[in-house]
Amino acid sequence: MSRTRGSSGPKTLAAINEAGLDLIYTAGYEAMSLRELAAKVGLQPGSLYNHIETKQDLLFDLIHNHMVMLLARVDAELEGVEGPVERLKAFVAFHLDYHIERKREVFIGSAELRSLTPKNRKTIVTLRRAYEDRLCDILKTGAAKRLFAVSDIRVTAYALLAMLTGICTWYDPKGRVSRRKLIDIHTRLVLDGVTA
């Protein structure tokens, strides 16, 4: 891929991030080289440092941007939705849609958490906890209103998130089950699992 003549810094950085997502998703963080990344974007290897400082910075930025977007989007999706049952339905639909659309980001955010420095990992884990807290708050409110029968809020949230996030490993948009039907099935599974 050759660099667009006269491309701007932000466009080049966006191309670097996109290429980084592809390379880390397919080969893994440890296997990806900055030389390979530069070639994919159409830059000289030394030119990468005009846009990113280190390979670790690239990984952190990719995961951090994903988490910040995830939190902003879930908050927007839940805004104005009243009642724990409706909020849980909205959360499930959002989570599935987002994770289907951003399979690479989700995979890297989980699989490459181990590759972050301790400081960077702490930042990402804090953001992940904030996202988990959105679901925990829904479950807690539903349990307090006796709409949900949940013995342990955090364990239930982790179990639901594991089930919902698993979509990234097996769902094929060209398969026999439509996205809408898939959301309906998962919503029913979640509600049956927590409804009092």
φ, ψ of residue 112 to 5 degrees: the values are -100, 10
Using the predicted structure, report yes or no on whether residue 107 has a pLDDT greater than 50. yes
* Location of each CATH 1.10.357.10 domain in the chain: 55-194
Q: What is the DSSP letter of 2?
A: P
Backbone φ/ψ region at 83: left (φ over 0), alpha (ψ -120 to 50), beta:
left
Q: Which of 45, 47, 44, 22 has its CA nearest to residue 32?
A: 22
3 state DSSP class of 155: helix
Q: Read off the pLDDT of residues 23-42 as tens digits, 9 standing for 90 and up.
A: 999 999 999 999 999 999 98
195 forms beta bridges with: 148
Integer-rounded Cα Rg, in Å, for the chain is 19
- CATH hierarchy code of domain 9-50: 1.10.10.60
Q: For residue 173, what pLDDT is reported?
A: 80
pTM of the model: 0.88
Q: For residue 115, what pLDDT is reported?
A: 96
Cα separation, 8 vs 156, in Å, equals: 46
Q: What is the DSSP letter of 4?
A: P
Token duo for residue 62: 């990719």
148 forms beta bridges with: 195
Mean pLDDT (the chain) is 91
Q: Read off the pLDDT of residues 132-188 as tens digits, 9 standing for 90 and up.
A: 999 999 999 999 999 999 999 999 999 999 999 988 888 888 888 888 999 999 999
CA 17 to mean position of chain CA atoms: 15
Residues 6+ apart with CB under 8 A from 114: none
Total residue count of the chain as it appears in this document: 196
φ, ψ of residue 148 to 5 degrees: the values are -115, 140
φ, ψ of residue 176 to 5 degrees: the values are -80, -20
* Location of each CATH 1.10.10.60 domain in the chain: 9-50
Write down the architecture of domain 55-194 according to CATH: Orthogonal Bundle (1.10)
